[in-house]
Structure 1
Amino acid sequence: MRVATVFGMSALGLALAATPVMAASDAAQRLAQDAIIVDTHIDAPGELLSHWDDLGVATPGKEFDYPRARQGGLDVAFMSIYTSPDEDAAGTAWQTANTQIDAVEAMTARHPDKFALLRSPADVEKLRKGGRVLLTLGMENGAPIGDDLKQLAAFQQRGVRYITLAHSANNRISDSSYALEKKWGGLSPFGEQVVAEMNRLGIMVDVSHLSDDAIRDVLSTTDVPVIASHSGMRHFTPGFERNISDELAKAVAAEGGVVQLVFGTGFVNPTAAANLQAYFQAEADFERENAKLVAAGKPARSKDDFEDAWKQAHPVPVTHIDAVLDQIDYAVKLIGSDHVGIGSDFDGVSGNLPVELRSVADYPNLVEGLQKRGHSDADIRKILGGNLLRVWTQVEKAAKR
């Protein structure tokens, strides 16, 4: 479960999800089909564990499936191998991660004409022939490696090509942007070893979800460019550390990296982002009050009741594609078109998405919006996937050296 799921989908949001969006222009459709689209964050694997579906056929309850991926022009989908802080604490993160990887492998084996596993950017052109959607793996939260650096090589062998070092809580590797109190002041000493080993193995370092100090530590430690796999620009959501600051976006770009911009309402809508920040404080207060009740021999309050009340008091605001286009415009002006990409967070934000970006079928709507805002087709190709493939290639070549 993602942090953004604390905001339940409103009745209006459910209605919008079922409402077809006007088709993009022919020019946008053609470019989406011709360009190589790389989305660095799709949460299908975790969804498959909670409710299995055959994503090789139309699956209306999900945001990623093969028919809509081809409709939208998606070529490379990074499947998010997500584990929670609770699984980390329980010692089950390694098992969960491997089970999710098994699910992705099973999906490709079931539909070899529709999917293929991608392990190197050099194989994109070869493997996407015949209309296949290429699946590669991004690990969201470094918890599955535990305290064992050797697990990095094991997961690299299984196809993991980036790792988000932490998620919604501090872990043994890094501080999290969401944590109200930081543990390490950035990366831990073990985290510095993790970054160095990832460089050696050719695994991209992902700084989304990290605290500002942790991102600075990553940039001072890494020998190769890094990515932010699914982040928004903090310029639009002041004080929201989960989104990347102008300073750090520039630093990522200066090292040759790329900021992959997210679509989720909680990251691109200022009201939703403020609500998400407020939720963490409210949750901490709730846990503290419950601890006092238990210490006094009184029954604890229901966490479910707390969550339900929060959702009712903080409905998700309706958001449109302009919120994402504004982020891209701003990022391109700030760090240049060579350092911007997309990481949607499809299937990871409980349907809380812009009206015109409801699923992987909707990339042409994004293309049309960028065209209308004056971005050249060459720059749009870079944003859709060229920049990410460049960084991945650099990281892979450095590892081989």
Structure 2
Amino acid sequence: MKLFLTSLLAFSVLAFNTKAQKTDEQLYQLADKIAHKYILTDGHVDLPYRLKIKNFRLERQYLGIPISTEEGDFDYERAKKGGLSAPFMSIYIPSSYQQTGGAKELADSLITMVKGIAAAHPDKFGVVTTPQQADANFKKGIISFPMGMENGAPLLKLSDVAYFRQRGISYVTLTHGKDNHICDSSYDSTFTHKGLSAYGKDVVKEMNRVGIMVDVSHISDDSFYQAIELSTSPVIASHSSCRYFTPTFKRNMSDDMITLLGKKGGVIQINFGSSFLDENYRQQAEVLQGKFGKILKEKGLKFSDPAAQDLLKQFQKENPVLFADVETVANHIDHVVKLTGGTKNVGIGSDFDGVGDSLPTGLKDVSQYPNLIYVLLKRGYTEDAIADIMYRNVWRVWQKTVANAKM
């Protein structure tokens, strides 16, 4: 006990001295240096689907080749400014494709898009399927594009798991907004399988075999507990936050789930969406969403209609909601560290380009990661601990998953 208190006192004095010796400006300069010194991976960036719905074409640069643009949350110049060096490109498959079909075709088209962007700009981007490939790109100053499939809907037969690994997929989020043929969703109240389906259990085993990380974001609690016990490699939650701060939001992870994730060597990557971070924001946003829905119904509009988007902008001006902020994101990181006993089980999974206008103050796009590092430094996190959060934790799971593969 005496040794523990002595160590704690030493850490406190060190943290105090670090703050005392550096001004806020110097701490921010250090944060920016750290952001560029180490690999910075983000578990979930929805650029591909954002470009898809913009009718993306490689030959039509004004529609979205992500070098420099004011649209969305990601482009090359902003990523370089923020130190982002390995964003996982989300191959997002909406749940509607489970009813209409075409999930595999959409996945293939989005993968082709990501590869096309990298091929068009080989000096700026490179698709990777292992941590070692990302390490090599980082040394060259190239931004890596690992890919994760959000929703296992395209895995129509077991052989599709190996197929998509060969196409470059490094993780699969087992489902999305609805129960699918693999497992139940946190957003669905049907509880079709009461966790994983029989086929879903085979999918998890096959993902382990071919070297694809199991992503437990979006899945129901029962699905989580079954998947984490079944998987022979640690799992990730590529873009989730702590239910402790949002008790009504089952999409986030409970303290018990996070604790077990830590014991199993997994990583939760904190989502930046304000609805994932703050219960007050969630409650305000839900009320306003209902009001706006009534307005659209009265005018006979769908949310996707251009006129509806114009109405939405005006509605948001007239009904402002207080967003979460960068300090709130740090609170979630602190909570995971407290639950798991250290910084080895937490990372970053922003959901940039996926959570719309709800991003927190100070983290509005990929140029602003240094703001989060700055807050962590102010809270006493060491450079080494921050490097864990930036990439080492995810790299450990990714490397183990690839190493355990039996292809």
The verdict on a shared fold, with TM-score over 0.5 as the criterion, is yes
Shift of 1:86: 0.8
Deviations 1:83-128 (A, max 9, x none): 1111121001111111111110110011000001111112222122
What residue is the counterpart of 1:119 in the other structure?
129
What residue is the counterpart of 1:28 in the other structure?
31
What residue is the counterpart of 1:331 in the other structure?
336
What residue is the counterpart of 1:59 in the other structure?
69
- Structure 1's 176 and 24: CA in aligned 2 closer, same or farther, altered over 3 A? farther
What residue is the counterpart of 2:20 in the other structure?
none
Say if 2:239 and 2:349, in contact at 8 Å, map to a contact too. Answer: yes
What residue is the counterpart of 1:79 in the other structure?
89
Deviations 1:105-157 (A, max 9, x none): 110011000001111112222122331100011000001112x0111111100
What residue is the counterpart of 2:59 in the other structure?
none
What residue is the counterpart of 1:189 in the other structure?
198
Larger Rg: 2
Q: How does 1:223-372 map to 2 (within 5 A)?
A: 223-274=232-283, 304=303, 316-335=321-340, 336-372=342-378
- Structure 1's 87 and 279: CA in aligned 2 closer, same or farther, altered over 3 A? farther
Say if 2:204 and 2:214, in contact at 8 Å, map to a contact too. Answer: yes
Counterpart of 1:57 in 2: which secondary structure? coil
Say if 1:55 and 1:64, in contact at 8 Å, map to a contact too. Answer: no
Say if 1:118 and 1:136, in contact at 8 Å, map to a contact too. Answer: yes
- Do structure 1's residue 218 and structure 2's residue 223 form an aligned pair? no
Kindly indicate whether structure 1 or structure 2 has the higher relative contact order, using CA contacts under 8 Å at least 6 residues apart.
Answer: 1
Whole-angstrom CA distance in 2 between matches of 1:112 and 1:391: 27
Q: 1:68 pairs with 53, 56, 78, which one?
A: 78
Counterpart of 2:269 in 1: which secondary structure? strand
Whole-angstrom CA distance in 2 between matches of 1:177 and 1:276: 19
- Where does structure 2 lack aligned partners over 5 or more consecutive residues? 1-24, 57-62
Q: How does 1:34-45 map to 2 (within 5 A)?
A: 34-45=37-48
Shift of 1:334: 1.0
Whole-angstrom CA distance in 2 between matches of 1:188 and 1:202: 21
Counterpart of 1:345 in 2: which secondary structure? coil
Shift of 1:351: 2.6
Counterpart of 1:337 in 2: which secondary structure? coil
Whole-angstrom CA distance in 1 between matches of 2:320 and 2:151: 28
Shift of 1:32: 0.5
Whole-angstrom CA distance in 2 between matches of 1:196 and 1:279: 43
Q: 1:92 pairs with 77, 99, 102, which one?
A: 102
What residue is the counterpart of 2:50 in the other structure?
47
Counterpart of 2:111 in 1: which secondary structure? helix
Shift of 1:274: 3.9
- Where does structure 1 lack aligned partners over 5 or more consecutive residues? 1-21, 291-300
Say if 2:66 and 2:74, in contact at 8 Å, map to a contact too. Answer: no
Say if 2:284 and 2:321, in contact at 8 Å, map to a contact too. Answer: no
Shift of 1:56: 4.3
What residue is the counterpart of 2:119 in the other structure?
109
Say if 2:241 and 2:276, in contact at 8 Å, map to a contact too. Answer: yes
Whole-angstrom CA distance in 1 between matches of 2:161 and 2:281: 35
Say if 1:56 and 1:111, in contact at 8 Å, map to a contact too. Answer: no
- Structure 1's 274 and 183: CA in aligned 2 closer, same or farther, altered over 3 A? farther
Whole-angstrom CA distance in 2 between matches of 1:24 and 1:358: 20
Say if 2:194 and 2:222, in contact at 8 Å, map to a contact too. Answer: yes
- Do structure 1's residue 199 and structure 2's residue 208 form an aligned pair? yes
Shift of 1:170: 0.7
Deviations 1:305-339 (A, max 9, x none): 99989x77985432211110111111111112100
